[in-house]
A and B are shown apart, each in its own frame.
Chain A
Amino acid sequence: MTVTWQNLADGFSLGAIYALMAVGVGLVFGVLRLVNFAYGQLVMAGAFALALASQWGWPLWAGIVLCFAVVLVLSLFMDRLVFRPLRGHSPAVMLVATFAVAFLLENIALLSFGSLGKIASSVSSLNQPWDIGGVNIRKIAVVAVVVAAACLILLQLLLTRTEIGLHMRASSMDFFTARMLGVRANRVIAVAVLISGVFAAIVAVLLTVQSPLVTPDFALEDTIVVLAGVVVGGLNRPIPATLGGFSLGFAIGVLGGALPTTQSQYLPTFIFAAVIVVLLVRPRGLFDFSKTVERV
C-alpha cells in the first residue's frame, strides 16, 4: 500500500465533510437527544436542488441559494412535524422515527426524480486539479477543508461568545434546568436545527462537486458512517463528535484510495468492526474525557 499526496488530500477533504455532518448531527442531539438518521436526506435534497438548478440553466450562485433554501425549509418542517411531537421520547424511539423519515424522503425523491438520478453539471468547475509543488490536488479538497475549518471556528465562536450559544450549551448539558432558568426551548431548538441545516446544505454542495450524479440514495452511506463516527467520538460534546466524524472520513478517504480494490471492497467491514470495538471499550466515546458516571 502506498499513500500518495492525493490520497491524503482526499482523506482530509472527506474527513472535513464528515466532520461538518457530525457537527450537524451532534448539535441537534445536544438539544433534543435525537439522533437524526434523516440528516443524509437533507443533504440529498440539497444536492437535488443543485442538480435541478443546473438542469434549468441557472448560474452556480443561484443553484447554491436554492440548495440552502430547500435544505433549511426542509429542516424546519422536519423539526415541526416530526421532532417536536416526539420530544421526550426515548432516543431509540426517536432514532426509529427518523429512520422512517429518511426512507420517506428517499422514496419521495425516487418518485419525483427516478432511480437513475440527475447530474449537477454546473458545479464541476470546482473539481479541476490544482498543481501545488508538482502534486495535483483537486480544488474541492482544499475548498472542503477550508470551508469546514471556517464553519467550525464560526460555530465555536457562536457557542462561546453569544447569548444563544450560551443557551444552547446550557440546554445540551441539562435541558430541564436550562428551561427553568429562562432558556426558551423552541428558540434554542429552532436555532440548533437551522445551523444543522446550514451545515447540511454546505455538505450538499461539497459532496455534489465530488460526485455530480445525484441519486435518491445520495449521502445515505455517508450518513451511516457519520452516525457511527459521532457515536464513536462521543455524542454529548460537539468537539469529540466532530473528531469522530473526521477520523472515520479521513480513514475511509485515505484507505479507499490507497488500498487495491480487492482489499478496499472490504473497507466497510474493517471500519465498522473498529466502530464496534470502540463502542465496547469506550461506550461513551473515544474522545470524551469528561468524568461523569452513570448513576442509578
Chain B
Amino acid sequence: MRRVLSLDEVVVPAGLVIAAALLGTLVSLSTQTYFTDTLVKVAIVVALYVFIGNSGVLSFGHISFVALGAWTAGVLSVPAAVKPAIMPNLAHFLLHRHVDNLTSLVLAAAVGGVAALIVGVPLMRLSGLAAGIATFAVLEITHNVLQYEERIGPGLNTFSAVPETTGLRQAALGALVCVAVAFVYARSRYGRLLRATREDAAAARAVGASVYRQRLVAFTISGLLAGLAGGLYIHLLPLQAGSLYLDLTFITLAMLVVGGTSSLLGAVVGALAVSALDSWLSVAENGTSLFGWHVDLPAGTAELVVGVLMALVLILRPSGLTGGREFHLRRFRRAP
C-alpha cells in the first residue's frame, strides 16, 4: 500500500535548504553572499516549479512577478529621507510611505500574487506554444514598464539604498516558506487535480477537473512565491530592471530543467547544483585558485557552461537530474 502523505517528500528538500544555509555559516563573509544568493534562487525556482512542474505548461513570465515583488519591497523600504534624492519622480503616495522588512516582504508576495491572478485570468486559457509566447509577452511588458516608469521606481537606475536585510537566515527562511507552500499545495486536492490535467487533460476534464481553474490557482500561488522571492532579492543586493529580465529567466529555467521539472526535489536540487556551479565559475572569472592551481576564466564562462549543461540535460535526460521524482526512503521497493 502506498502512503498518501509522505513527509520525506518535503523533509529532504527542506533539509537540503537548511544544509546549504548551515554550510554558508562556515565560510567567509564574502563567500556567504553566494550562499544567500543561492537560497534566493531556490525560492524563485520553487515558485516556478509550483506552476510549471504541476501544470506542465511553460512560463517565461515568472520573472515579471519576481521583478514586481522586488520593486514593491524596494520602493517601500528605501528610507523616506533619501527617497526624493534617489527617485525624484516617484508617485506622491509612494514618496512618504515606509514599511519595515517583514511587511515589505509580505506586500511583495501579495503584489506578486495579485499580478499573477490578473495576468492569469486571461492567459490560463492558453497552452503549449501560445502560452509560452504570451508569458514571454508579459515579461517584455513588465520589463519595459519598470525600465521607464519613474513614478513607481528608479527607472533605468539601480535600486540603491534598500536596507540589506536579506542575510543567510532570512534567505533560508524565505526558501523554506516557499518549499513548505509548494509541498502543501502539491499534496492538496488542487495540486493533485492540476497534475491530473498535466498527465492527460482530456481524462482530467472527463472526471470534472477544470483545467483553467486549476492552472489559475497554481499560477497565483506561484506568483505569490515569486513576489516573495523578489522581495528577498532586492533586500540582498541593489538590482536594476535589466537584472530581472532574460538572464534571470534563463538561469532559473535552466535550474528547474536541470533538476527535473516535475518534482519539488528537482527544483531544489537544480537550483542548488546550478547555483553552486554558476557561483564558482563567477568567482573564477575574477581569478581564484583550485587545489593550488590558479584559475582565471574570461567573463561569460559561467553562462556558457550553464548553457551547455542545460542543453545536455535536455538532450540526454529530459526529465532532469532527479528524473522528476520525489525522494522516498523506500525508493527501491517494488514500483507501485
Contacts and interface: CB of A to CB of B under 8 A. Distances in A.
Interface of A: 35, 82, 85-86, 89-93, 95-97, 99-101, 103-104, 106-108, 110-111, 115, 220, 224, 227-228, 231, 235, 265-266, 268-269, 272-273, 275-276, 279-280, 283, 296
15 contacts: A82-B311, A85-B315, A86-B314, A89-B318, A92-B132, A107-B304, A111-B298, A227-B136, A269-B141, A269-B144, A273-B137, A276-B134, A279-B133, A279-B134, A283-B130
A95 B141 contact: no
B307 A275 contact: no
Contacts of A272: 137-138, 140-141, 144
A272 B123 CA distance: 13
B308 interface: yes
Nearest to B309: A100
A28 B137 CA distance: 22
Given A111-B301, A268-B140, A272-B140, A227 B133 contact: yes
A268 B141 contact: yes
Contact of B123 (A227, A235, A276): A276
Contacts of A231: 129-130, 133
A106 B247 CA distance: 11
B280 interface: no
Most buried by B among A107, A224, A227, A275: A107
Interface of B: 56-58, 122-123, 125-126, 128-130, 132-134, 136-138, 140-141, 144-145, 148, 202, 246, 250, 253-254, 257, 298-301, 303-304, 306-308, 310-311, 314-316, 318
Given A101-B307, A227-B133, A279 B126 contact: yes
Nearest 8 A-B pairs (CB), nearest first? A104-B307, A272-B137, A110-B300, A100-B310, A92-B58, A107-B303, A268-B144, A107-B304
Looking at chain B's contact residues, the main secondary structure is helix
B145 A93 contact: no
Nearest to B132: A95
Contacts of A273: 137, 141
A101 B202 CA distance: 33
Contact of B122 (A92, A96, A115, A280): A280
A103 B134 CA distance: 20
A106 B302 CA distance: 12
A104 B311 contact: yes
A223 B128 CA distance: 19
A99 B253 contact: yes
B20 to A, nearest CB: 25
A148 B257 CA distance: 38
A104 B144 contact: no
A280 B314 CA distance: 30
B137 A275 contact: yes
A96 B253 contact: yes
Given A268-B141, A269-B141, A272-B140, A96 B133 contact: no
Given A82-B315, A95-B58, A280-B122, A275 B129 contact: no
A92 B137 contact: no
Contacts of B123: 276, 280
Contacts of A99: 250, 253
A84 B155 CA distance: 43
Given A92-B128, A110-B300, A227-B133, A100 B122 contact: no
Contact of B315 (A86, A95, A106, A227): A86
A240 to B, nearest CB: 14
B310 to A, nearest CB: 4
A97 B136 contact: no
Contacts of B132: 35, 92, 95
Given A97-B314, A224-B140, A276-B138, 10 more contacts: A92-B132, A96-B253, A101-B311, A103-B306, A106-B303, A110-B303, A272-B137, A279-B126, A280-B125, A283-B130
- Most chain B beta-carbon contacts within 10 A, residue among A89, A96, A228: A96
B300 A275 contact: no
B50 to A, nearest CB: 17
Nearest to B201: A296
Contacts of A103: 250, 303, 306-307
B44 to A, nearest CB: 16
Contact of B145 (A92, A95, A96, A266): A266
Given A104-B304, A269-B145, A276-B122, A228 B136 contact: yes
A86 B257 CA distance: 15
Nearest to A99: B250
B148 A265 contact: yes
Nearest to A110: B300
B311 A100 contact: yes
A264 to B, nearest CB: 10
Nearest to B254: A100
Nearest to B128: A91
Contacts of A86: 314-315
A291 to B, nearest CB: 19
